[in-house]
Amino acid sequence: MKMLMALFVVVLVGIGFSTQSAPAAAAIKVAAVGDSITWGAGASNQSTNSYPAQLQTLLGSSYQVGNYGHSGATMLKQGDTPYWNTPQFIGSKNFKPNIVVIMLGTNDSKPWNWQYKSAFISNYEEMIGVYRALNSHPTVYINLPPPAWSNSYSIDGTIIQNEVIPMIRQISTDTGAPIVDANSSFLNSQSLFPDGVHPNDEGANEIARLVYAGITGQPAPPPVPPTINGTALTRTGWTASASSSSGSDIPANMLDGNTATRWSSGQGQANGQSFTIDMGQARTFTGLTMDSATSYGDYAHGYKVYDSNDGTHWSSAVASASGIAYASCYDFLYVTFPAQTARYIKVVETDSANTWWSIHEVNVYN
């Protein structure tokens, strides 16, 4: 009888009646394959604001997004920089992805590359086959490349629209690979591509949202506005100054109640740039907002906040942040800290970015 009971216990343990928790499910791996648009050449911070980085933020921890963009890459094997010959192509395969998103074709439109256009469809379909043959058996998505406008890279927007895009749509029909349309979505959005080719932070965010919808079948979650605690202080009599300005984009515009005006640094963001608010008298406050509104990507990418009673002697930093991603703020920064009582507030930029530092409105809260 004792032997039978022992065997019964062994069987129970063997079929899973264990006190140990089950291992966490492995993250779904997404390989973003492409050129400098994928890599993030137009982003203010490539590591946080490229489209794959923003896609990672949207998808969350159940996914792992790999950025396998290579600047100048072509789909054409006879192009000047074939993606086939890049370390990113090797890396994307070794990544063992569950999902592959290919966005190539922009650099193929250069005249010296497009002379080999007769091989574009066959090369593209071959690459889809290579990825599908991986042991991880990924689903391959085709991301239509964005439009291109006047640029210094010899990329031909007319060829992209009239030849590359129709060919890629044919490839989708031939192979059954689903399309993510990052082309028609941007036909009237030239402002998101400052150099005519590469998306800025907001443009990269829009691409990320399109890819999110494509691979999940659900719309990307809308930006969640921060919950602001307290009441905005009346700004009557307040003044503002800054370390630099651009033309009519003066510091006073941050306090005029008009989001159509702004203060701008007039130069790329750099450590040490600052603006100062003089509230006229000591006030108690627990937070502030910096709204960059339609100056997309011009939010402070890192900051420290100080206060003072005389404008000369400053406190230690009461709040700070660095490496801020576009997808975490959408051009609106809300900074909170323990209650302070002071007359002056100074915000100092601590990171660097190609974009200017622009603020349309500053409010202080208690």
276: domain CATH number? 2.60.120.260
CA-wise closest residue to 270 among 194, 354, 331, 347:
354
What does the pLDDT look like over 201-210, one tens digit per residue?
Answer: 989 999 999 9
The predicted structure's pLDDT at residue 125:
98
Question: Does residue 328 sit within a domain?
Answer: yes
Whether residues 92 and 194 share a domain: the answer is yes
CA-wise closest residue to 204 among 65, 100, 53:
53
Question: Does residue 223 sit within a domain?
Answer: no
Question: Does residue 4 sit within a domain?
Answer: no
The predicted structure's pLDDT at residue 18:
36
Total tally of structural domains belonging to the chain: 2
Instruction: Give the predicted TM-score (pTM) of the model.
Output: 0.75
10, containing H or E segment:
helix 2-14
What does the pLDDT look like over 107-157, one tens digit per residue?
Answer: 999 999 999 999 999 999 999 999 999 999 999 999 999 999 999 999 999
Give the range of the structural domain holding residue 153, as residue numbers without chain letter: 26-216
Question: Does residue 181 sit within a domain?
Answer: yes
Question: Does residue 263 sit within a domain?
Answer: yes
Residue linked to tokens 């000591």: 282
Question: Does residue 210 sit within a domain?
Answer: yes
Question: Does residue 91 sit within a domain?
Answer: yes
Whether residues 176 and 256 share a domain: the answer is no
Whether residues 53 and 175 share a domain: the answer is yes
Whether residues 285 and 202 share a domain: the answer is no
Divide the 366 residues of the chain into consecutive groups of 10 and give the mean pLDDT of each group. Answer: 39 37 76 98 92 96 98 98 98 98 98 98 98 98 98 98 98 98 92 93 94 96 84 97 97 97 95 98 97 90 97 97 84 95 98 91 97
Whether residues 251 and 335 share a domain: the answer is yes
Whether residues 73 and 198 share a domain: the answer is yes
323, containing H or E segment:
none
Q: Report which DSSP code applies to 234.
A: P
71/194 Cα distance (integer angstroms): 17
